[in-house]
Structure 1
C-alpha cells in the first residue's frame, strides 16, 4: 500500500446527508423487508417462481436506488449503510437457501459468508481509529453485481432444469457466481489492506470521556 492515499471513512458531513426519508432509502427499506419473504417462498412453500421475482426485484432496485440517489441528489449516511446491508442480506439469504435446496455446494457459501465475517471483525479496529466503515470500492461493487444477478439466474435455471431455458440460464449463473466469488474475495483482501494501512499510518482516535 506504499504510496497509496489513505482510505477515507464514510459519513463525511455534508448538506442533507442526515436525511432519512428519501426515495433511495425507501427502496432499501423495501428490499430489507423482502429478505424474509424470499426465504419463506424459497424454503417453506418452495414457490421458486415468486422467490425468483423477489430476488430479481431486489437486483433491479439495487441498481435503481443508486441511480435515483445521483439523479435526485439524495445521498445520505443512512443510505450508505442500508444499501450494502440489503445487498449482503440478500446474498446471505440466497446462499443459505440454495445450500439447503442443494443448488450450490456448501463451500461456496462458506467462502462468501466467511469473507464478510472476517471483514466484520475489523470494525472494532476501525472504530479505534475513528472510522465507522470504509467506502465500498468498484471491485466490491462489481462482485456484488455479479452475485446479485447470478443468483436469480441460478434459481431460474434450477427451477427450469431439463428445458432449453434451464440449459441457457445455468451456465450464465455459474459464470456470474464464479466471477462474483473471486472478485468478492479480492475486494475483501483490498479492504484488509486498507485496514492495515490505517493501523500503520493513522493515530488512534481520542477516547471520549464519559
Structure 2
C-alpha cells in the first residue's frame, strides 16, 4: 500500500471544513452553557459530519495536508473538551468522566513530548484513536438529548452511555497503543524520516 504525499497547501476543502469546526467551538460552548440544546445538538452533529467529510475528501482527492493534520485533531479535542466541560457543568455528565478523559490527554501529551525529543513529529494514527473519537462524538449528542423527561430522553440515555463507555475505553487504549508504538520505535533505534 503506497502512502500518498502530504502537501503544504492551505486552501483546500478539507482544511476549510476543519477551520469551520474550530470557529464553531465557541458558539457550541455558548449554546450548551445557555441551554440552547437544539443549537448545541445541531452544532455537534455538524461537527461529526464535517469531521468525517474532511478526512474522506482529503483521502479521496489527494488533499491531505500538513495543516489538515494539525487542524483536524485540534478541532476534535476542542469539541471533546468543550462538550465534556459543558455537560459536566450542567450535571449531565459526572466530573470523574472529565478527569479520566483529561488524564488520558495528559498521558498522550507526555508520549508526544517524548517522541518529539527523539525527533518524531507525531506517531501514526491508528483505528483505536479514530474509533474513540467517533464514540465520544456520538455519545455527547445522545447524553445531551437524555437531559429531559420524555421518551426520547429515556431512549437516548443508554445509547449515549454505551457510546461514552466505549469511547472512554478506546481513548485510553489508543493512548497505550501510542506509548507502545513509541517504545518499539525507540527500542529499534529507528530514526525519523
Alignment length (residue pairs):
190
Counterpart residue number, 1:31: 21
Q: Aligned pair in 2 of structure 1 residues 72, 13: CA closer, same or farther (>3 Å)?
A: closer
TM-score, normalised to structure 1, is: 0.85
Q: Aligned pair in 2 of structure 1 residues 33, 76: CA closer, same or farther (>3 Å)?
A: same
The structure with the largest alpha-carbon Rg is 1
Displacement of 1:109 after TM fit? 1.1
The question of 1:172 aligning with 2:172 is answered no
Distance of 1:137 and 1:30 partners within structure 2: 25
Can you give the 5+ residue segments of structure 2 that lack an aligned partner in the other structure? none
Q: Aligned pair in 2 of structure 1 residues 69, 36: CA closer, same or farther (>3 Å)?
A: same
Can you give the 5+ residue segments of structure 1 that lack an aligned partner in the other structure? 1-11, 206-210
Q: Aligned pair in 2 of structure 1 residues 127, 172: CA closer, same or farther (>3 Å)?
A: same
Counterpart residue number, 1:193: 180
TM-score, normalised to structure 2, is: 0.92
Displacement of 1:13 after TM fit? 8.7
Structure 1: 4+ residue segments shifted above 6 A = none
Match of residue 119, structure 1, among 82, 94, 108: 108
Q: Which has the higher contact order (CA 8 A, sep 6+)?
A: 1
Higher helix share: 2
Q: Contact 1:140–1:187 at 8 Å: present in 2 too?
A: yes
Counterpart residue number, 2:189: 202
Distance of 2:83 and 2:113 partners within structure 1: 28
